[in-house]
Structure 1
Amino acid sequence: MHSLVLAVFVVVYLGMALGRLPWLALDRTGVAVLGAIALMAGGALTAREAWLSVDVPTMAMLFGLMVVSAQLRLGGFYTRVTRAIAAADLPPQGLLGLVIAASALLSALLANDIICLAMTPILVEGCRERNLKPMPFLLALACASNIGSAATLIGNPQNMLIGQITGLSFTAYLLDAAVPVAASLAALWVIVCLVFRDDWDESWHEGAAGVGTPTQAPAFNAWQTGKGLFFLGILMAVFLAGVPPREVAALGCAGVLLLSRKLASRDKFALVDWPLLLLFLGLFVVNHALAATGILDFVYASAERAGIDLNHGGWLFAATAVLSNIVSNVPAVMLLLPKAMAPESALVLALSSTLAGNLLLVGSIANLIVADQAERFGVRVTWGAHLRVGLPVTLTSFALTGLWLWLRWGEHFVGQ
């Protein structure tokens, strides 16, 4: 049975690394779900054991926050914010700073994937109206959403998982993460300005692909937006106060928002990222099955004998960065989480897995969303274009974060 579990694990994580399985129309979510089914069908786990392996509080937290974000999107909040930024009477560098600040702040409070999905088309439209190249602003949007989401335990799926499993204090994490996140955002602005220098202007003409296509976005509704912001404020107050359980608060606010005479629940559910929830479910089952065999403990012990001690922050920081760019950050966090139960290690895991997403175009879902949405409007974000900004931003943010963690924990972080 160990052979079956190991084989399924290898296939699933190969799918995580490639983004799909060769010759099959299966994305990462499909691979993870298929792996869980194979384990149950093969007798490695019963259906009850598989269900018990799922961390329900994490799933509840994800779902609740997705509903809150859906309320704001349907209320036109993201559209209003992005159009206000695009219309600001500022030079390109100032506009870039606004894009970075707004993307980072919203991503820290809400899922960064949703922020990129909602803001990208409006940002392209705004740049064209001002005859500005969309590329520097789109790259800044993607990178800032990743960096900003590292600031809190609700900014992205992997941070939610880390916060729920380790019981890490929301406030304590925020205070520790604020410094490297702020420094990394400042570095992002400098790097984009240096990369593009004076290359901001671009004239668009009617023959350009997608130029004549109006952006379809929900109209702004003050009442619906106000409801979403009100309950988001309640959640933030609950999280900062440390009132447990966080997932119940998220579900409670989502439940109240579903009680509406104007916005249909089906429309809100349509904006919930069901594939992400299924990805979590499948990986919970696959990783639980592997851990039950003892293979994972053997891998940890072998790494320690080779001098790679994941109990030290420096090794965990580096291993997370590498693994996140091989199999993506959520699967990487699930693999490394057993070695990051201490508050200091949980902070390292959250920061490293999130900041690593800026290195490659496929490093985070937020990057891919920006690229996909931009291409629909005639702007092609290539691997090379992303790497021009992503590489220096990642290296700089890791250097700044590593320095901060070393100043905070000294020998524990460097592994001496």
Structure 2
Amino acid sequence: MAMAPTVKVVLGSIAFGIFWVLAVFPAVPFLPIGRTAGSLLGAMLMVIFRVITPEDAYAAIDLPILGLLFGTMVVSAYLERADMFKYLGKLLSWKSRGSKDLLFRICLVSAISSALFTNDTSCVVLTEFILKIARQNNLPPQPFLLALASSANIGSAATPIGNPQNLVIAVQSKISFGKFLFGLVPAMLVGVLVNAAILLCYYWKLLSSEKDVEVAQAAKDMIAEEDVTSHRFSPATMSHLGSMNSQDWNSMIESIPQSPSINGEFGHVETLRNRVSYSENDIRPATSAGTESAKVSNASKELGGVGGIPQRREEGASGRRYVRNGSWMSGMKEGFSNLSLEEKEIPVERWKRLLWKTGVYVVTIGMLIALLMGLNMSWSAITAALALIVLDFKDARPSLEKVSYSLLIFFCGMFITVDGFNKTGIPSALWDWMEPYSRIDSAGGIAVLSLVILILSNVASNVPTVLLLGTRVAASAASISLAEVTKAWLILAWASTVAGNLSLLGSAANLIVCEQARRAQFFGYNLSFWSHLRFGLPSTLVVTAIGLLLIRN
């Protein structure tokens, strides 16, 4: 492709440069708008600068990739609700034989779960659990966090749904799910084992030392308690409930219609107010707690005869409150009948949940079978997502809220920005210069190509690297042999994915583990850039090299 006019090249480079800076450093001081807004800004500048037309910009958005991303995120949300990741967490600690055994288990569980449910999802749900296990057993968290992040990246290379760049490769190359899987599974399995061996060698002394030394080492990186914040998901529609104080509760309670003539509802309102007061007393000093409880007791006595209606409450076996407004015996009978109904409902609810969880697992397995059969990956994932929504038989908003729509928007902007940058001719010119040295018909060419992918993936991020190099690498392989095209795509998938282990900024999974660990309540830990790089650099080079020897086309 010939170079575009100079003005278009300059303006396109500026737009791509802005996108790159905000994608790699989303909180830069001069424009802290984040990755998603940065990708949209880059796309908009490409259109405004007339590097790309509005029609071409819309055409650049790859809907099959977005559909596959959306479907897999919805399926992952339902799997999380079905306790899939809780079971994986229990598997980590089940009959564990020590710190080294735990490290090896984390590598395997993280790799397998990432291949099936994406690396980001696995890191989100397993990070705090691993921190908890490490702290409870007085183990240093660092090797286990590195095992989680690095194994998640390596494991995600095995399938098209393991990470975003593999989604792009699978859609653009039209390689079937089964062919993709069988081509990279050997490299993934050996890569995970080699990565675990490097971790064990690197941290052998630390994992073998006495517990008091381990605790001291772990304490060095522990975050102060006041700096730790919870990362629990809280839907926006319910966020106001968690921030209410006792005055808010009292005002809300007072807004309830208070009619003393309807079966003691006024007494029920006062019970709510008293419960709020009791909850406040639990966190106050003992001296003030006694005074406040006395006030509550006196207030309740004064309210006992409001409206001339004597109100006496009895505590039934079921823990329910009954206001005496008629026959005491009838209230007791009603309490026992309600208790028996609840006891009957508990097994029913358990069976319903068990059947629902089984349905979730069956639908997920069906999706994987459809992918292995070579059916359309995007529509298979969307169909599975909709099947789970229907199976749930309730408002799907809580599950749909867990979809990362910002990631989908980021992809839209990135597609447009990268397509505009391609139209400047710069990527083609650079590839024309590198292509003679990067042909995959020789070991040296594969090594050079892999090194270029490793560097670009850490400089420009792995998904833009795949978008920039994908078709060019495939075209170069096609000039050698049509049979080499699949191998070229798989090399790109392997190298761009494992490249994420090189540095902390190499992949989103690394950043997720780092942030989740830092914000984890009670178990906060700071995984620094340099501590990751010391392990990540040798591990990435060794695992990438070994995996390249095992890729099958």
Is TM (by shorter chain) over 0.5? yes
Q: Which residue number corresponds to residue 399 of structure 2?
A: 268
Q: Which residue number corresponds to residue 448 of structure 2?
A: 315
Greater shift, 127-136 or 307-316, is seen at 307-316
Q: Which residue number corresponds to residue 365 of structure 1?
A: 508
The 5 A counterparts of 1:94-105 are 94-105=101-112
Q: Which residue number corresponds to residue 60 of structure 2?
A: 53
Report deviation, 1:216. Answer: 5.8
Report deviation, 1:84. Answer: 3.6
Q: Once the two structures are superposed, what CA deviation does each residue of 1:12-63 show, in whole Å capped at 9, x if it has no partner? A: 2233344455511122222111111222334444433211111111111111
Greater shift, 117-126 or 7-16, is seen at 7-16
For the structure 1 residues 38 and 95, does the alpha-carbon distance in structure 2 shift closer, same or farther, using more than 3 Å as the test?
Answer: same
For the structure 1 residues 215 and 337, does the alpha-carbon distance in structure 2 shift closer, same or farther, using more than 3 Å as the test?
Answer: closer
Q: Which residue number corresponds to residue 292 of structure 1?
A: 423
Report deviation, 1:134. Answer: 1.9
Q: Which amino acid aligns with 2:546?
A: L
Q: Which residue number corresponds to residue 358 of structure 2?
A: 226
Q: Once the two structures are superposed, what CA deviation does each residue of 1:320-377 show, in whole Å capped at 9, x if it has no partner? A: 1110011111111111112233211100100000001101011111011111111123
Q: Which amino acid aligns with 2:460?
A: V
The 5 A counterparts of 1:31-70 are 31-70=38-77
Structure 2 SS opposite 1:259:
helix
Equivalent residue for 1:174, pick from 156, 177, 181: 181
Equivalent residue for 1:9, pick from 11, 16, 38: 16
Q: Which residue number corresponds to residue 75 of structure 1?
A: 82
Distance in structure 2 (CA, Å) of the matches to 1:191 and 1:144: 12
Report deviation, 1:392. Answer: 2.4
Distance in structure 1 (CA, Å) of the matches to 2:184 and 2:31: 40
Q: Which residue number corresponds to residue 113 of structure 1?
A: 120
Q: Once the two structures are superposed, what CA deviation does each residue of 1:66-115 show, in whole Å capped at 9, x if it has no partner? A: 10001112233212321342343322111112111111001001111011
User: Is residue 161 of structure 1 aligned with residue 198 of structure 2?
Assistant: no
Distance in structure 2 (CA, Å) of the matches to 1:345 and 1:286: 24
Q: Which residue number corresponds to residue 141 of structure 1?
A: 148
Distance in structure 1 (CA, Å) of the matches to 2:457 and 2:82: 34
Distance in structure 1 (CA, Å) of the matches to 2:358 and 2:449: 41
For the structure 1 residues 392 and 294, does the alpha-carbon distance in structure 2 shift closer, same or farther, using more than 3 Å as the test?
Answer: closer
Q: Unmatched 5+ residue regions in structure 1?
A: 410-416
User: Is residue 246 of structure 1 aligned with residue 377 of structure 2?
Assistant: yes
Q: Which amino acid aligns with 2:549?
A: L
For the structure 1 residues 309 and 22, does the alpha-carbon distance in structure 2 shift closer, same or farther, using more than 3 Å as the test?
Answer: farther
**Contact in 1 for aligned 2:113/2:122 (Cα 8 Å):** yes
For the structure 1 residues 48 and 389, does the alpha-carbon distance in structure 2 shift closer, same or farther, using more than 3 Å as the test?
Answer: same
Equivalent residue for 2:471, pick from 338, 345, 355: 338
Structure 2 SS opposite 1:154:
coil
Q: Once the two structures are superposed, what CA deviation does each residue of 1:154-193 show, in whole Å capped at 9, x if it has no partner? A: 1100001100111012222212211221111111221111
Report deviation, 1:225. Answer: 3.8
Q: Which residue number corresponds to residue 272 of structure 2?
A: none
Q: TM-score, normalised by structure 1?
A: 0.88
Q: Which amino acid aligns with 2:144?
A: F
Distance in structure 2 (CA, Å) of the matches to 1:275 and 1:88: 40
For the structure 1 residues 385 and 223, does the alpha-carbon distance in structure 2 shift closer, same or farther, using more than 3 Å as the test?
Answer: farther
Distance in structure 1 (CA, Å) of the matches to 2:438 and 2:541: 21
The 5 A counterparts of 1:200-219 are 200=207, 201=211, 202-203=214-215, 209=224
Q: Which residue number corresponds to residue 379 of structure 1?
A: 525
Q: TM-score, normalised by structure 2?
A: 0.67
Structure 1 SS opposite 2:206:
coil
Structure 1 SS opposite 2:417:
helix
**Contact in 1 for aligned 2:418/2:464 (Cα 8 Å):** no
Distance in structure 2 (CA, Å) of the matches to 1:136 and 1:240: 34
Q: Once the two structures are superposed, what CA deviation does each residue of 1:101-155 show, in whole Å capped at 9, x if it has no partner? A: 1110010011110110011011111222222222211110001100000111111
Distance in structure 2 (CA, Å) of the matches to 1:140 and 1:298: 39
Equivalent residue for 2:133, pick from 123, 126, 129: 126
**Contact in 1 for aligned 2:116/2:162 (Cα 8 Å):** yes
Q: Which amino acid aligns with 2:390?
A: L
**Contact in 1 for aligned 2:177/2:374 (Cα 8 Å):** yes
Report deviation, 1:254. Answer: 0.8
Distance in structure 2 (CA, Å) of the matches to 1:43 and 1:214: 45
Q: Once the two structures are superposed, what CA deviation does each residue of 1:229-264 show, in whole Å capped at 9, x if it has no partner? A: 222211211111112x21111111111112255664
User: Is residue 390 of structure 1 aligned with residue 536 of structure 2?
Assistant: yes
Distance in structure 2 (CA, Å) of the matches to 1:196 and 1:63: 38
Distance in structure 2 (CA, Å) of the matches to 1:137 and 1:48: 48
Structure 2 SS opposite 1:363:
coil
Distance in structure 1 (CA, Å) of the matches to 2:74 and 2:451: 34
User: Is residue 401 of structure 1 aligned with residue 547 of structure 2?
Assistant: yes
**Contact in 2 for aligned 1:75/1:222 (Cα 8 Å):** no
Report deviation, 1:389. Answer: 2.3
For the structure 1 residues 81 and 209, does the alpha-carbon distance in structure 2 shift closer, same or farther, using more than 3 Å as the test?
Answer: farther
Counting matched residue pairs gives 403
**Contact in 2 for aligned 1:83/1:126 (Cα 8 Å):** no
